[in-house]
Structure 1
Amino acid sequence: MQVSHSEDLLIPGYVNPPFITLAFRLLRDGEVAAGKKIVRVYRDWNDISYLALAFETVDGETTRSCRVLLSELLAQGEWLVTGQDGAPPRRTRATYMAFSESGTYTFNITSGEGGGQQGDPGRVAGLVRVERLPANREIVLVERPADGEWRLAGYGPTPSGSGDIDVRVVGGDVYAIGVDDYGVAFVPDLAVQVGQRIRPTQYAGWVYEITEAGRLPAVEPAWWAAQGENPSQPLGSARAIARRYFQPIAHGPVPVEVI
């Protein structure tokens, strides 16, 4: 992974690729705790021998920042992130995270659930159609128990338009929310891959899906709407097609198969 710890050199004729700045705020059981904590970033479990990034707290809560090549973060998509707290009793946690913009990302080294996931295991059948065609969407399921305090029951994708999503429920009504891909905000000279979505800085209802890999232009272009057969158009040295962004839509209550 390409990392920069200092300002890029200015060389005539050379265009510096876009970097973003990452840092972490590390919690334990959802709270700030004293002591050193470490976050390590890997590509996947299959590449656990190759450490991509490492962050260590400087005050028990936050880490120093690191500048990372944005195109590499986006090309990978999700990264395996592990957290470690050596204070007794020692704790560790691993999850997948995606990074698309500069910021300080909060990482809870323990789930805060004190002994396991809450609720009975269940399953919800997800089925998504967009303009009458099957669509892959992220489905988020929330539950309203008898006490009225909303809780997250589960989430998952619908590859090819359908899929079973695992949930944990406590006897309340469950509602499903379908979320479209909002894309990454336009960044000049960003290297992009096929399938990535780019969002104009002044959003007007459309996102742009990359159909040929390349690099975004140095200046934000005049964006276009889908017309006719919606052919791809140049976007810097890449090409893209316009896609309408569909705002989240919810259904419910939905039936849950308790396992």
Structure 2
Amino acid sequence: MMVLAALGYRVGLPGYIKPPVVSLQFRLLRDGEVTETVKFLRLYRGFETLGQLALVFWAESGAGDFTQTCALDLATLLAQGEWLAMGIDDALPRRIRTVYLSLSESGLYTFNITMGEGGGQQGDPGQVSGLVRVERLPANREIVLVERPADGEWRLAGYGPTPGGSGDIDVRVVGGDVYAIGVDDYGVAFVPDLRVQVGQRIRPTHYAGWVYEITEAGQLPAAEPVWWAAQGENPSQPLGSARAIARRYFQPIAHGPVPVEVI
């Protein structure tokens, strides 16, 4: 009660601006199916902080699969980046699954609690050498690799970054043709008064080919600004109390088939 009272008092202070928040809800499945058992999804900031629970979602017994909705400060969500998520279903035989999740906006997310039986890691292990150039310069991009086997049913083979413009990406293949898709950072849609950190990208509500990379941390303005295009040496410009530069967003580009070194 004391915490709630303190929070209520703070919101009422003159000049105080309530930070933007997001609403998160999860749909918890067991082995890809809806079940009526109690399920938990626990979020941690990292492996080294497993003793410090950050958020917990649960689906009650008999309620099916949907959890409660939690509100979280958007700036905290973006600054964290990846969360260590642990899904738990204690119904026999027990199920547990731990992965890293990237969450950047409000929404209903599906989390499948499974032990991976049935071929979650199908295929032979291999590697693909990724090399990315943007306007002739090395660039860090997420590379997604998909495979088209003989049966024609597309499957995900692997994915990974290209730090410094290159990198070896681990894949699992079943003898089909593999295609690589390079994905640029589309940024986060503009939110008034959002606190932003260096390196984050902001996307205008009405996208026109440009996203805006934060060069000095601060707070976005209360109203969406008049966005600008990169010109000349592309100097940074004020974006609320932060500063940013315009970056062209490059739509995904695919190449293939690409050679795969089977290990």
1:145 aligns with 2:149: yes
1:25 aligns with 2:27: yes
1:215 aligns with 2:207: no
Q: Cα RMSD (Å) of the superposition?
A: 1.6
1:45 counterpart (44, 47, 54)? 47
Q: Spell out, residue by residue over 1:160-191, the C-alpha distance to the aligned partner (whole angstroms, 9 max, x if none).
A: 00000000000000000000000000000000
Distance in 2 (alpha carbons) for counterparts of 1:64 and 1:104:
10
Q: Spell out, residue by residue over 1:103-159, the C-alpha distance to the aligned partner (whole angstroms, 9 max, x if none).
A: 111001116552551101010000000000000000000000000000000000000
Distance in 2 (alpha carbons) for counterparts of 1:111 and 1:202:
42
| 1:30–1:112 CA contact under 8 A, matched in 2 | no
Opposite residue 119 of structure 1, the aligned amino acid is G
With normalisation by structure 2, the TM-score equals 0.94
Opposite residue 189 of structure 1, the aligned amino acid is D
Greater Cα offset, 192-201 or 110-119:
110-119
Greater Cα offset, 30-39 or 144-153:
30-39
2:192 counterpart (174, 188, 191)? 188
Distance in 1 (alpha carbons) for counterparts of 2:30 and 2:37:
11
Distance in 1 (alpha carbons) for counterparts of 2:249 and 2:115:
33
Distance in 2 (alpha carbons) for counterparts of 1:96 and 1:48:
13
Q: Spell out, residue by residue over 1:17-73, the C-alpha distance to the aligned partner (whole angstroms, 9 max, x if none).
A: 000011110011111112000000001101111110001113130110010001011
Equivalent residue, structure 2, for 1:62: 66
Equivalent residue, structure 1, for 2:245: 241
Equivalent residue, structure 2, for 1:131: 135
Local SS of the residue matching 1:228: coil
> Percent identity at matched positions?
76
With normalisation by structure 1, the TM-score equals 0.95
Equivalent residue, structure 2, for 1:86: 90
